[in-house]
């Protein structure tokens, strides 16, 4: 089983643009199904999450791809925030790490177990806002099924204090757990549900598990590893940048600009294949 799921060093992964021809061989005779994280993947990481706006070029690329292929954005952002940021009706959206999903043709899902935990999230939010209000640069962002504590702008000497406060709050709420990302801590439902489970749910619901499809996931953060693990062996996982740990990805890209350069090449290959 260890060989089935092999962790890789990001620095040793083949670059998806440099090895595009080899990567494409995995897609021959199959229809790509594309899954994307949002922050750090479709948009660069910024200090203020509200300023992570999808560019017009990005929208055009995703809209064009979604005319022919299944395209989904799977993010830790709340569903309404995610849909508002992307603004394309043709895409599937999985918000709050997949606790809430919506898409074309009446696709809707909200994980019932997560709804039972909302009162604890409400209580934890109040405590965090009170205890962290004096920490300069720290912000508490409430999503429906998670609370994100951003410390990117916090003085290095106070980061330990932020982490201690978050840990203490979680200890008092048995239905919550801590998730970590790039300069962010998240309080989430202590349920075995994450981006990987959301990915599997979508593949089953949309009948995309057959060998006629090739699943491709793009992500940049630790929370994307659950989804990268799902596509690790039979699909294609692409890590954008690094997150300081080993990865289940098969290929790498350096940054958001690389993602769109790759998608342009992918579209060229796919459109050209249709004319063969």
Q: What is the pTM of this model?
A: 0.90
* For residues 42-53, average pLDDT: 90
| Beta pairing partners, 88 | none
Q: What is the mean pLDDT of residues 168-189?
A: 93
205 or 114, higher pLDDT = 205
pLDDT, tens digit, for every residue of 110-167? 999 888 999 999 999 999 999 999 899 999 999 999 999 999 999 999 999 999 999 9
Residue 275 has pLDDT above 70, yes or no: no
> Where residue 181 falls among pLDDT bands split at 50, 70, 90?
confident
CATH class of 30-111+193-274: alpha beta
Rounded to the nearest integer, the mean pLDDT of the chain is 93
Catalytically annotated residues: 37
Instruction: Identify the pLDDT of residue 1.
Output: 38
Rounding to the nearest 10 degrees, give the CA dihedral for residues 83, 49, 256, 231. Answer: -60
With cut-offs at 50, 70 and 90, classify the pLDDT of residue 5.
confident
Mean pLDDT, rounded, for 81-104: 96
For the cut 70, the answer to whether the pLDDT of residue 19 exceeds it is yes
pLDDT at residue number 4: 62
CATH domain 114-189 topology: Alpha-Beta Plaits (3.30.70)
CA distance 268 to 18: 16
Residue 3, phi then psi, degrees to nearest 5: -70, -25
Spans of all domains in the chain: 30-111+193-274, 114-189
């Amino acid at each position: 089983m260890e060989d089935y799921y092999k962790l890789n060093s990001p620095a040793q992964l083949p670059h998806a643009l440099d090895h595009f021809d080899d990567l494409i061989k995995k897609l021959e005779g199959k229809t790509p199904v594309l899954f994307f994280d949002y922050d750090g993947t479709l948009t660069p990481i910024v200090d203020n999450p509200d300023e992570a706006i999808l560019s017009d070029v990005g929208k055009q690329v995703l809209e064009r791809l979604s005319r022919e292929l299944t395209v989904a954005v799977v993010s830790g952002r709340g569903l309404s925030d995610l849909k508002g940021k992307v603004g394309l009706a043709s895409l599937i959206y999985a918000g709050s790490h997949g606790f809430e999903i919506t898409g074309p043709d009446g696709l809707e899902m909200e994980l019932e177990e997560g709804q039972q935990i909302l009162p604890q999230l409400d209580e934890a939010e109040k405590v965090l806002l009170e205890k962290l209000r004096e920490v300069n640069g720290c912000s508490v962002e409430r999503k429906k099924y998670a609370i994100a504590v951003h410390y990117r702008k916090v003085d290095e000497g106070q980061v330990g204090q932020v982490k201690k406060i978050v840990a203490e709050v979680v200890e008092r709420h048995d239905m919550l757990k801590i998730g970590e990302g790039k300069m962010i801590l998240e309080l989430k439902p202590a349920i075995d549900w994450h981006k990987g489970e959301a990915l599997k749910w979508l593949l089953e619901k949309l009948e995309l598990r057959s060998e006629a499809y090739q699943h491709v996931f793009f992500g940049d953060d630790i929370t994307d590893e659950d989804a990268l693990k799902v596509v690790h062996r039979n699909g294609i996982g692409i890590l954008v940048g690094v997150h300081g740990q080993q990865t289940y990805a098969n290929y790498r890209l350096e940054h958001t600009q690389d993602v769109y350069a790759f998608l342009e090449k992918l579209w060229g290959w796919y459109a050209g294949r249709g004319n063969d």
